[in-house]
Amino acid sequence: MTGRPRLICWLLAGLGVLVLVTYVHDWALVAPQTSLTRTSDFAGTYVAATLWREGRGSQIYDLPVEEQALRDTGAPADHSDIPFENPPSGLLLALPTTLVDGGAAWALWSWLQLLLVAAAVALAARAAPWPARAGPLRVAACLVAVAGTGTGLLFLEGQWDGFAVLGLAAAYWMWRRDRSFAAGLLVALGIGIAKPHLALGLAAFVIGRRDWRALAGALTGAAALLLASVAAVGVGGVESYVGALLQPSNSPVREMLGFSGLFGSSLGPGRLTDLLTIAGGAAAMVAAFWVGARSRLRPALLEPALFAATALSLLASPHLLGHDLTLLAPVLVALLGWLAVRAHDWPDPASAALLGGWIVLSALALVDLAGQQAAGAGIRLVPLALICLGFGTAAAVIRDSGGLPSGAGAVAGGG
């Protein structure tokens, strides 16, 4: 790669670095403010892990107990409603953070999530096909992917998505090596540890592929997480978790993304919003199923199919927030590598459109976030971008595979 394409790659890489530096700068401004770090999204996880370590595992979903425990960590009384809503097995990963105070725990957790996203993107870049001498392109793709708005939100909020992103990237690595059972297992463990609702479309994708080994791996992972949850908090604790899921969400529907945010932001909460959200989610899952079926017939379509299924899986999720967009980062890199192999010249129109779509998605996430903070009104824009990315890529996979080589051997392994 020489001349103008190389220059474009380094400009994109520089943009990614600049955005990441901005995230670190914002994090450094928040870090000294104890009241903010102790009311982050991680606060509920920290409190639940602390309660479990103190032998009160049966109370991790008891809201009054959680709120009192959060106030005991130094959180303001008017910011103590940050419940733990993840599966019980998840808190076991957070146990080491309870050895330090809440502010330090948030800092450690935030950096862990950032490093997990970076590791996931690097793993996907390693597994993906790339043309010869594509070093600058691969570096640029990785930096732009990691620098998405979702990463900045994840970093500041101390959310859980790093595990889900790494699980998906590792599953892609395994699918590239025809190790489907391990792929399904890693998806289930990575996403199921805290964000099982993000995997609906991916489950439809696996079924559409008739990838029974991957399905068996996913069921094995789900069973392992269930057993770990029962071991951690008992059957009663698992029932409390289910009860917590059925309670009104701590995040209003107008703040959601995906179909729930698209309809909730314009119609508000209610039966019509729920019905439209279910219908939209069902449509996304059907599209993911057909994408899986197409990729089963044409294994060379794995990368665009997996990208489409992931975007559709986000759309289908009833609870989608900005930090969850990080799930697209590793499959974005994989698809960019796949497109680069097939392009006569780079940047080709498809790669440019994909990069542009990712940048627009990140920008719209900021617009939606500003709208939530201002008045919570106005239609959500991220769902519209996800519809274009998810259904658009799905339509391309389903409709037209002309000119694409078929067979697993048509896609060279990453190197």
Model confidence over 388-412: pLDDT tens digits? Answer: 999 999 988 887 654 343 333 333 3
Query: Tell me, what's the pLDDT at 117?
Result: 98
pLDDT in tens, 134-189: 888 999 999 999 999 999 999 999 899 999 999 999 999 999 999 999 999 999 99
Distances (CA, A) of 297 to 95, 289, 352, 395: 44, 13, 27, 16
pLDDT in tens, 207-234: 999 999 999 999 999 999 999 999 988 8
Query: Tell me, what's the pLDDT at 310?
Result: 97
Please give the Cα distance from 391 to 403 (Å, whole number): 21
Query: Tell me, what's the pLDDT at 2?
Result: 63
Give the highest mean pLDDT range of 73-77, 194-198, 261-265, 347-351. 194-198
**Spatial contact of 87 and 192, defined as CB atoms under 8 Å apart:** yes
**Helix segments in 247-257, DSSP class H:** none
**Spatial contact of 328 and 314, defined as CB atoms under 8 Å apart:** yes
pLDDT in tens, 308-317: 999 999 999 9
Angle between helical axes of 149-157 and 102-127 (0-180°, round to 10): 150
Query: Tell me, what's the pLDDT at 411?
Result: 37
Query: Tell me, what's the pLDDT at 400?
Result: 60
Q: What is the mean pLDDT of residues 70-95?
A: 78
Please give the Cα distance from 245 to 135 (Å, whole number): 45
Please give the Cα distance from 404 to 396 (Å, whole number): 12
Query: Tell me, what's the pLDDT at 80?
Result: 59
Q: What is the mean pLDDT of the chain?
A: 87
pLDDT band at 248 (very low <50, low <70, confident <90, very high): low
Indicate the burial class of 403 (C-beta count within 10 angstroms; 0-12, 13-18, 19 or more). exposed
> CA torsion 347→329→157→363, rounded to 10°?
30
